[in-house]
Structure 1
Amino acid sequence: MSVYRFKSRETGDLVMLQQHGQRMLEILGKSTSGPGIIQPAEMTGAIQAIRAAVEADDAARQRQKTEEGQDDDDTPTDTVSLRMRAAPFIEMLQRCEKAGVEIVWGV
């Protein structure tokens, strides 16, 4: 099983399964076909893009629950939301932006 390993000098490595790492990169408009970099100047926009995708995912999940006649109090779904998967990546972006260091992957 392949993984993405996001690295920076400010944080520990962030490891995501391939499908989840690719989704993050697609949200950011980054190529998934090889190594890449997120520069500190890009990080505010990256955080905003991920948060917008999280909000859209949350809304879609809520619509699906409503259509299926479920309440929030029902048994939780067995899938992990984008909100939960994105949280460590957003934290990494915030810390790296503050420190002025890039995030790389595939190197």
Structure 2
Amino acid sequence: MLITFKSGATADILMLGPVGQQMLEIVGKDPQEARGIITLSQLPAAIEALSTALADSRATSRQAANNEDDEDAPRGMAAPVSLAQRIAPLLDALRQALREEQPVIWEAH
């Protein structure tokens, strides 16, 4: 399954189902819905929620890196994609949508 986030202010953002569903949960939307909208009035709260999740993810990643004693742990391109890296494009899109006063819709395919 894919989840597509769309707005008249930005290019579409495609996320695989589990990641897209996680983003919807963070912004307070029901990930089981086939489609929905983040209205203009909901955008500030959604941006705040994603910003908080992004900061928390970065802090967790830094802490893990500081505590990393495993020389065999994947690094660079082999390292898993962090939640912060997954949040960043959607957060940027929501900020742009708010600046341009455009809602963001999502659809699951």
Compute the TM-score of the two structures, normalised by the length of structure 2.
0.82
5+ long unaligned stretches in structure 1:
none
Does the CA contact (< 8 Å) of 2:27 and 2:46 recur in 1? yes
Aligned pairs for 1:31-50 (under 5 A) are: 31-34=30-33, 35-50=35-50
User: What residue number does 1:100 align with?
Assistant: 101
In the alignment, is residue 15 of structure 1 matched against residue 14 of structure 2? yes
Does the CA contact (< 8 Å) of 2:54 and 2:88 recur in 1? no
CA shift for structure 1 position 27 = 0.7
Aligned pairs for 1:24-63 (under 5 A) are: 24-34=23-33, 35-63=35-63
Does the CA contact (< 8 Å) of 2:4 and 2:107 recur in 1? yes
CA shift for structure 1 position 94 = 1.1
One-letter amino acid of the counterpart of residue 16, structure 1: M
Q: RMSD across aligned C-alpha pairs, in angstroms?
A: 2.2
More strand by share: 2
One-letter amino acid of the counterpart of residue 91, structure 2: I
Identity of aligned residues (%): 31
Does the CA contact (< 8 Å) of 1:41 and 1:97 recur in 2? no
User: What residue number does 2:67 align with?
Assistant: 67
One-letter amino acid of the counterpart of residue 10, structure 2: T
Aligned residues: 104
CA shift for structure 1 position 93 = 0.6
One-letter amino acid of the counterpart of residue 100, structure 2: A
5+ long unaligned stretches in structure 2:
none
How has the CA–CA distance of structure 1 residues 66 and 94 changed in structure 2, closer, same or farther, with 3 Å as cutoff?
Answer: same
